[in-house]
Structure 1
């Protein structure tokens, strides 16, 4: 399983109470970020952890440091699992359908995914690394899809990126639609980008 490594420097050994505070903050941040995205006020994270906001800055240096301390659990593990499974699917059309369906599901369920995709915190090396990996798989899928005919010939990696970002913006700023409506629109999206396969009689 792919993991994010090397972006967060190791911390010196902490006293037992400081270590306990750090774990309480991490636990509170994971719960807040998973449910509401990475922009949750730090005051709320501090209150849930039973510490002051200043303690978050003392332990993690602020929001970006806190995000980097928990982004593995909040976003990276699940997103990278989708990417890794995508690359195991042999049929290109099925690969693309799985990836987009699974990614849109993550966008619907995990608001923090949309904050990552929108690069809300560009100073975070870990968030930008997640975006780099996402761009890499987008390029792979579109290249394979166009070559195989599974995607429309004129469809580009930039088009795929725009569709993903547009969805992130709609979910972040427009609110969640009903799940049935959302899934139906995923089907429309897939139908719209698929290549036009010739009929069996050649017409």
Structure 2
């Protein structure tokens, strides 16, 4: 079956699309993926209907910007983690870097909580994080770098619990948050 070429957008439609995308990048990055679309539209200087016309709604808009907001950074964390020579070092880096991402980018918490399960891209990011968790647990256990009772479900729960606390709780001061990251690492790593 022959596919029709994508329609060429008028200059004003291209400009609106670019404005929506830039507004979504800014608003989602700073406040998370659940920000009302009315606020994204206002930041872009368009109507909410224009977002639906251009992107099909929230999930389409999220999928347009999620790489720049979360996926690229998570890929960077995974790549750097895999480059480290020692299992304990990989665990410490990954847990610290993920907690930093969760603190700095509220959208990461929406991704990790699977807030939009109809987004294939978000679910792919979660799958990749799950694979990294499994790899870290297997390597950490083999090297004796983890407390013997720590498993994949525990590492997953630590990430999800942190996402819930940051999304729905009072935001802690950075120094307190970093101190608590140390507590988490002390609890899961062997002495």
Shift, 1:104, TM fit: 0.2
| Alpha-carbon distance between aligned partners in 1 of 2:45 and 2:153, rounded to the nearest angstrom | 44
> Which residue is equivalent to 1:4?
none
| Alpha-carbon distance between aligned partners in 1 of 2:24 and 2:6, rounded to the nearest angstrom | 18
| Alpha-carbon distance between aligned partners in 2 of 1:18 and 1:34, rounded to the nearest angstrom | 24
| Residues 11, 139 of structure 1: alpha-carbon distance in 2 compared, 3 angstrom cutoff | farther
> Which residue is equivalent to 1:53?
48
Shift, 1:17, TM fit: 1.3
> Which residue is equivalent to 1:168?
163
Alignment of 1:102 onto 2:102 = no
Match of 2:180 among 173, 179, 185: 185
Match of 1:70 among 53, 65, 68: 65
Q: Mean alpha-carbon deviation: is it higher for 15-24 or for 161-170?
A: 15-24
Match of 1:15 among 10, 35, 38: 10
Deviations 1:115-169 (A, max 9, x none): 0000000000000000000000000000000110000122100000001100000
Shift, 1:13, TM fit: 2.9
> Which residue is equivalent to 1:88?
83
> Which residue is equivalent to 2:20?
25
Deviations 1:6-46 (A, max 9, x none): xxxx9543222111110000000000001100001100110
> Which residue is equivalent to 1:199?
none
> Which residue is equivalent to 1:127?
122
| Alpha-carbon distance between aligned partners in 2 of 1:156 and 1:79, rounded to the nearest angstrom | 21
TM-score by length of 2: 0.95
> Which residue is equivalent to 2:136?
141
Report the secondary structure of 1:142's partner residue.
helix
- Alignment gaps of 5+ in structure 1: 1-9, 197-203
Deviations 1:39-72 (A, max 9, x none): 0110011011111000000000000000000001
| Alpha-carbon distance between aligned partners in 1 of 2:6 and 2:83, rounded to the nearest angstrom | 37
CA RMSD of aligned residues (A): 1.1
| Alpha-carbon distance between aligned partners in 1 of 2:166 and 2:123, rounded to the nearest angstrom | 20
| Alpha-carbon distance between aligned partners in 1 of 2:113 and 2:144, rounded to the nearest angstrom | 29
